[in-house]
Chain A
Amino acid sequence: MDWSPDEDVAAAFSGGQPDALALVYQRFGALVYSIALRSLRARSDAEDVTQQVFVSAWQSRSSFNRGRGTLGGWLVTITRNKVTDALRERQRDSRVLLQVAGGAAVTAPETPPDHVVERIVLADELAQLPESRRLVMVLAFYSDLTHEQIAHVLGLPLGTVKSHIRRGLQRLRSRLEADGVAH
């Protein structure tokens, strides 16, 4: 099966190594920020949430259990919670504003839509694939080329392309399930 550098990052993190947070941020910063940005649609809010997620993850690192799930999944869960908090706070602010203005605001609390999180996790996993395998998957998803045409265009044997596609899809699926974002 695929070697996963994420395991090393998770090990360093739960071991509390001094540079571990930087490693974790380097690996997952874009994932966390992208989810926050797509959910909150405001850069400053997304930056705040990203900061909160990593600070909170670092402070509560002893509660991360490598046996129970992936570090990515754990961070995604924290991100969802912080995004929900940010949305609640926003709602509270708008309610105060409305009250001041003499109106009443009753709206359902929002949460980040699942498919946004799922799609960003997918993009993140796609990015972890080695160059040639990522290219095969990108073409398979977005180019309308058949696997024969992909093999031709990339100069790869047909069997290699078919294998990359099968393993690529499986790996993306596994990541969704491991991070607990699949239904």
Chain B
Amino acid sequence: MSHTDPEILALRALGETAGTARDAEHAETCPRCRAELARLTEVVQLARGDGAGERLQAPPPQVWDRIAAATGADPVPVSPAAAAANGTSAPAVPRIRPRRGLRTGRPHGPRRRLATGLAGLAAGLIIGIAGTAGIVHLTQAPATRVVAQIALSPLPQFPQWQGTAGTAVMRATASQQLMVVTLHAPRQLGFYEVWLLARDGVSMISLGDLNAGHTGTFIIPPGTDLHNYSRIDISLQPFDGSTQHSKTSVVRGSLPAAALGGTTSPR
């Protein structure tokens, strides 16, 4: 009997019901295919972990200075590429702010903005090192359900973004709602920021910045009225120190009715 197609094994490792019943039976009974499936399943379980994946974080610049000093290497700054790095991201803490007017409590000057942006590029936001709870759940599937899958598309008035695309997958856990955002767009100077837009077209909530892999998982602030904040927008933000939307929208999409289950207060 021929062995199970490796592509089918890979999909089965991801939890999909790929292939025929015969494939499934073979993968169970053939020692070679069963071992291969186990090898790949372990990768999937490790990668999924607590549902967010492990983050790479770049060391701060002074670490290279010290290494260069100790080894006589050229101290020209080197930034480890946690950058191209992060395929995944832990939930970033959302910041709520109106388009203009009040700033949040944290300092937001140009330096800080640049620093945040660069950190985003270099490593993305790391969710507390204290976030160790996740490692306990290595073999468990994430306890979230998908509420909606939203395709994000470029707007007609921005011809330069034609060809880009994104997805936003809204997931709910028992206590919160998450937005898993992926953007397929060229790397640009600046950074991509994810927003919820209100119906008035003026008010907006910043969910956070995409990492250098152009992905991000964001907590939708509890209490958000999704009937009002019903559109998702990704902007390209310059490093200009402004916390406001740059008015350069890359892609946009609307929450489907199924996702508008009132506010996101915990159930």
Contacts and interface: CB of A to CB of B under 8 A. Distances in A.
A22 B11 CA distance: 39
B135 A30 contact: no
Contact of A124 (B43, B56, B76, B213): B56
Listed residue (A22, A118, A163) with the most chain B CB atoms within 10 angstroms of its CB: A22
Interface stretch (A65-73, A77-85, A133-141): A133-141
A144 B169 contact: yes
Sort chain A's interface into a size bin: 35 or more
A176 to B, nearest CB: 7
A129 B123 CA distance: 16
B171 A166 contact: no
Contacts of B49: 119
Contacts of A180: none
A154 interface: yes
Given A115-B135, A173-B39, A173-B43, A145 B149 contact: yes
A62 interface: no
Contacts of A47: 59-60, 62-63, 66
B58 A33 contact: yes
A182 B42 CA distance: 9
A123 B85 contact: yes
B180 A143 contact: yes
Given A165-B7, A166-B6, A153 B167 contact: yes
B94 interface: no
Nearest to B67: A54
Contacts of A19: 73-74
Contacts of B40: 169-170, 173
A94 interface: no
A43 to B, nearest CB: 8
B55 A34 contact: yes
B57 A25 contact: no
Of the listed residues B11, B16, B79, the one surrounded by the most CB atoms of chain A closer than 10 A to its CB is B11
A30 B184 contact: no
Contacts of B180: 142-143
Given A119-B46, A176-B43, A153 B165 contact: yes
A138 B51 CA distance: 11
A176 B44 CA distance: 12
Contacts of A119: 46-47, 49, 53-54, 135
A22 B65 CA distance: 11
Contact of B88 (A46, A126, A144): A126
B80 A30 contact: yes
B7 A129 contact: no
A54 B184 CA distance: 35
A89 B11 CA distance: 45
Contacts of A182: 42
Contact of A50 (B63, B149, B215): B63
B59 A142 contact: no
B78 interface: yes
Contact of B52 (A122, A131, A142): A142
A18 B67 CA distance: 14
Interface in B122-139: 123, 129-130, 132, 135, 138
B56 A120 contact: yes
A162 B7 contact: yes
A131 B55 CA distance: 17
Sorted nearest first, the 4 A-B pairs with minimum C-beta distance are: A29-B80, A30-B82, A127-B85, A33-B59
Given A21-B71, A21-B73, A169-B13, 16 more contacts: A29-B64, A30-B59, A33-B59, A47-B62, A50-B59, A50-B63, A51-B66, A118-B46, A119-B53, A127-B56, A132-B184, A134-B87, A138-B213, A141-B88, A166-B7, A172-B43
Interface of A: 18-19, 21-22, 25-34, 37-38, 41-43, 46-47, 50-51, 54-55, 58-59, 113, 115-116, 118-120, 122-124, 126-129, 131-132, 134-135, 137-147, 149, 153-155, 162-163, 165-166, 169-170, 172-173, 176, 182
